[in-house]
Amino acid sequence: MEPVRFKKEKVVLDTSLFVNPEVRADFGKTPTEAVEGFLSLASQIPTLEFYMPSSIFKELLNFIDEDKISGDLLAILRQKPPSRHEMSCPAFIFYELIEDIRERVNKGLRISEKAVRNVVKGGEKEVIQNLRRSYREALRDGIIDSKEDVDLILLAKELDALLVTVDNGAIKWAEKLGIRWLLPTGFRDYLLSYIKRSNLESSKTKAII
């Protein structure tokens, strides 16, 4: 009897899984160790395929030492750019994007006005620091603000894949586009559940044979 063949699930990874110190601890202390830890688990799961946009993979290489990675990085973590010219985008996305940008610009203006009024009350250095922090939060938090972020979203949409990221902007737009997502803090347990399932199915297959 032939073994049961399962459809392979696809997963798109963001660099935050390996680079962000707050979320990579489940896999390793450094980006290189985190990649090595991921490869060790991923190599045991034949039913999952892992992808990363080429633009983001190039970023990852700046943080890791490839010579210290024993696993087959290029074979397990596939690099693929999204098919930008073939994909279509729902019109409502443009409406929501414009509305979001307008609200952020208005919020940025209010923050700037408040900073100008506070110059009289506080020191110039403190006012500028507060202005930069508040302005950055108002305009960048929860928005896709780079081509790499767009590649991440488009590739996950194209492949109908699970997106693993901690970026609030990517998560927000994944929700709008119906893309499944998972925070990196839950990714190790996700992999372990697949390893357990794979071992059980393997045992059943051997029993049948």
Q: What is the pLDDT of residue 199?
A: 78
Whole-Å CA distances, 125 to 3, 49, 53, 132: 68, 50, 40, 11
Phi/psi at 78 (nearest 5 deg)?
A: -80, 140
Q: What is the pLDDT of residue 34?
A: 95
Q: What is the pLDDT of residue 200?
A: 76
Q: What is the pLDDT of residue 7?
A: 72
Q: What is the pLDDT of residue 161?
A: 97
Question: Helix, strand or coil for residue 52?
Answer: strand
Q: What is the pLDDT of residue 1?
A: 40
Contacts of 143 (CB under 8 A, 6+ apart): 100, 104, 169, 172
Residues of the chain with pLDDT under 50: 1-4
Q: Which tens digits make up the pLDDT trace of 42-76?
A: 999 999 999 999 999 999 999 999 888 887 898 99
Q: Which tens digits make up the pLDDT trace of 28-41?
A: 999 999 999 999 99
Q: What is the pLDDT of residue 58?
A: 92
Q: What is the pLDDT of residue 3?
A: 45
Q: What is the pLDDT of residue 148?
A: 86
104 and 143 in contact (C-beta within 8 Å)?
Answer: yes
Q: What is the pLDDT of residue 128?
A: 67
Name which of 189, 14, 176 is nearest 93 in CA terms: 176
Share of the chain above pLDDT 90, in %: 44
